[in-house]
């Protein structure tokens, strides 16, 4: 009988015979009209050679003439579980599309360990270039051509997806992405860490051990926890973040909350000229807004996000 070789409960286990067991995040919701919100949903193939796709959300009653903001979303799951078609994201993103009146592209990047990092980042960059191609009339997706305002683009994500959103915003700032203007980035319970513990983290040394092992597992060629991909404070390009505003949410019972605040401080000290707002929701767990999207605190997150999309400044 095969033995457990890597155990990252409650996410994933890998056995000595090579078998990979994902312990959650395997559910799928069909891409069809959401009856509760009236949001239209469909899946599109971006690059069949690497099995890269995305799920698109279009709110009901959109003006056929007036363009609306575009929200590019990256799902969480520690880079090892979940997908763009997961029930975890269906309700939340349908509500975002409805309340904020935005077109959403939820990227279905490939997962580790079959596809170790940096593949998730590269897949997401390919997806962004696919999105941008529509601004230059090279794309063929009608929802983007007809409704997306490429001068009002936002990135967002939760946990590992927030990590991706940040790193792609850095890349946009450094390399540019012709055809789109990145207005802002929304980070929910972002997956950041570092080699040295910061205030508050010493209370949970088990979390440090877990995160360090997970990071080395999903990114075997990384130099470690001070890799700029997971520790933005170590990134020499941090001041090049390619947007004007950032909204960071953390949960009061989440061990990652300290890194969320540390990220805000690092960004402000870096010389970046934008505005960053940090919000902590007390007495909530990691990515609580996804598991109870209609709860009072989750609705407050949604309301803040709607305001974030529709204001030039906080």
In the three-class reduction of DSSP (H, G, I as helix; E, B as strand; rest coil), residue 248 is classed as strand
Strand 12-15: give its sheet, edge to edge: 4-8, 12-15, 20-22
Catalytic residue chosen out of the listed positions 123, 159, 183, 227: 159
Catalytic residue selected from 134, 147, 166, 286: 286
> 174 with 242: CB under 8 angstroms?
yes
Active site residue 286: yes
The residue annotated as part of the active site, out of 147, 235, 254, 289, is: 254
User: Dihedral of CA 114/117/119/121: which sign?
Assistant: positive
Active-site residue 94, yes or no?
no
Q: Can you spell out the DSSP letters for 23-40?
A: -S------SS--TTT--E
State how far the Cα of 279 lies from the Cα of 237, in Å rounded to an integer.
24
- 273 CB neighbour count, 10 Å cutoff: 8
Q: How far apart are CA 55 and CA 291, in angstroms?
A: 19
Active-site amino acid positions: 159, 254, 286
């Amino acid at each position: 009988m095969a033995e457990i070789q890597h155990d990252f409960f409650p996410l994933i286990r890998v056995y000595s015979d090579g078998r990979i067991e994902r312990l959650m995040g395997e559910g799928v919701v069909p891409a069809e009209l959401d009856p509760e919100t009236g949001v239209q949903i469909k899946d599109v193939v971006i690059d069949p050679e690497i099995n890269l796709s995305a799920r698109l959300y279009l709110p009901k009653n959109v003006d056929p003439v007036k363009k609306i903001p575009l929200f590019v979303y990256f799902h969480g799951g520690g880079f090892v579980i979940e997908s763009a078609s997961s029930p975890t994201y269906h309700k939340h993103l349908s509500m975002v599309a409805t309340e904020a009146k935005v077109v959403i592209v939820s990227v279905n990047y490939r997962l580790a360990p079959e596809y170790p990092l940096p593949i998730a980042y590269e897949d997401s960059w390919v997806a962004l270039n696919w999105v941008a191609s529509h601004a230059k009339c090279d794309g063929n997706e009608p929802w983007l051509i007809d409704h997306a305002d490429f001068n009002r683009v936002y990135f967002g994500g939760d946990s590992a997806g927030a990590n991706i959103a940040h790193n792609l915003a850095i890349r946009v700032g450094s390399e540019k992405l012709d055809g789109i203007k990145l207005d802002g980035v929304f980070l929910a319970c972002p997956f950041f860490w570092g080699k040295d513990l910061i205030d508050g983290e010493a209370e949970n040394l088990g979390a440090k051990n877990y995160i360090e092992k997970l990071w080395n597992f999903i990114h075997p060629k990384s130099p470690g926890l001070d890799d700029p991909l997971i520790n933005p404070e170590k990134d020499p390009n941090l001041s090049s973040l390619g947007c004007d505003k950032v909204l960071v949410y953390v949960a009061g019972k989440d061990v990652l909350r300290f890194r969320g605040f540390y990220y805000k401080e690092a960004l402000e000290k870096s010389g970046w000229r934008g505005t960053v707002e940090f919000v902590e929701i007390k007495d909530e767990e990691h990515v609580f807004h996804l598991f109870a999207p209609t709860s009072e605190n989750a609705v407050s997150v949604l309301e803040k996000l709607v305001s974030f999309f529709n204001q030039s400044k906080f």
